[in-house]
Structure 1
């Protein structure tokens, strides 16, 4: 099995999904800082950008959690 095949398999594994959730959550820290700075500067456009980014992060985490649940359901059926 090639390294590329292993890497693609990791992305769909439980560990890969947890890693994706972690990196997505790390992005949430950046968005929170962006929103705080936008509020301080009274910059409505930057605040709107932060809100849209936060919605995208929330959607991404929800999709990853759904994938994690699906992986967990598959494990139960296989085991």
Structure 2
């Protein structure tokens, strides 16, 4: 019986599928932005890439906040990519 309760608690702690896919998507975009910024000497792109890669670890498991901040960081990256 205790094993079933433990599995039930573990299931409630796992993030949703959309959260995992979103963090993978924004992480890949962040990695590409980091590499681009490092290669072309663009520190804003590099640091926005770092932020995109690591912010999912800081916000917990709120999927709406993940997509909201990820979209805002991608928009900032789009604005600063040509500077």
Scaled by the length of structure 1, what TM-score is found?
Answer: 0.49
TM-score, normalised to structure 2, is 0.47
Structure number with the higher helix fraction is 1
* Larger relative contact order, structure 1 or 2 (CA cutoff 8 Å, min sep 6): 1
